[in-house]
Amino acid sequence: MITDIAGQPQDGRTVRDVRALSEDDVPHRLVLAFLYELPAGKGRRWLSDASGAHGKLLQGLLGGWRVAGIYDYVSGRPLQITQSSQTTGLGLNQRPSVAGSYRRVDDVRKAVGLPGQTAALYVSREAFAVTPPYTLGTAPFRMPNLRGPSRQPWDLSLMKSFPLGERARLQLRVEAQNAFNQVFFADPDTNIQSAAFGTIASTQTDPRLLQIGARIDW
């Protein structure tokens, strides 16, 4: 018996019934990382030869700063359209049928909210139909051309090092996950017999998270 994340296939007689994209299929991913050190302070381009109390103070305040960051773009994963009614007569999972063309909403934010209160549905309910009892649905196991929302968060870090004697250094750092506090919405409800079909009620990332840390290198 061929099984899947939803339990069982619609038709256990053929592997083609569940041949589809993986639920973790991500066709596009871009990760960019950077590290920049402010060129100021002792041995740097600026304030390297600063002298006097004022110069030493500027060296201490402006020297040793680093900024690091990671940008991670991940495209949406393929959606799985389902229905509540499960009467194939075979004891297996029944899928809905494709009743027309389907495409995702132009602005994901329009589909966010409670059922009946959104400006639009993520995908039109009219594009699918409930499959009658004892019939196999025509919808693919996963929709190859219908994906959930993407995400592209920024994680940033600000660090500064202080000398501790001749060999040791103290590093203080502030880190921000989802630094710009962006909202990335989760997949919509995909059960066509649910009142919430096509609406989004959650997010796939947390709000901005700040943490402060310290370490000593020697």
What is the Cα–Cα distance from 209 to 32, expressed in whole angstroms?
Answer: 20
Q: Does 189 fall in a domain?
A: yes
Q: Give the mean pLDDT of 112-119.
A: 89
**pTM for the predicted model, two decimal places:** 0.77
The least confident of 18-22, 32-36, 185-189 is 18-22
What is the Cα–Cα distance from 150 to 9, expressed in whole angstroms?
Answer: 28
Q: Does 51 fall in a domain?
A: no
Structural domain count of the chain: 1
Q: Does 133 fall in a domain?
A: yes
**Which residues, in sequence order, are CB contacts of 39 under 8 Å at separation 6+?**
45, 46
Contact predicate 97/139, CB 8 Å: yes
Q: Does 196 fall in a domain?
A: yes
Residues composing the chain:
218
Q: Does 105 fall in a domain?
A: yes
Contact predicate 41/63, CB 8 Å: yes
Q: Does 118 fall in a domain?
A: yes
Q: Does 70 fall in a domain?
A: no
- Domain encompassing residue 138: 77-149+184-209
What is the Cα–Cα distance from 199 to 81, expressed in whole angstroms?
Answer: 13
Query: Residues of the chain with pLDDT > 90: what percent?
Result: 48
Bridge partner list, 98? 128
Nearest-CA neighbor of 19 among 33, 34, 9?
9
Name which residue leads in pLDDT, 185 or 41. 185
Q: Does 49 fall in a domain?
A: no
The rounded mean pLDDT for the chain is 85
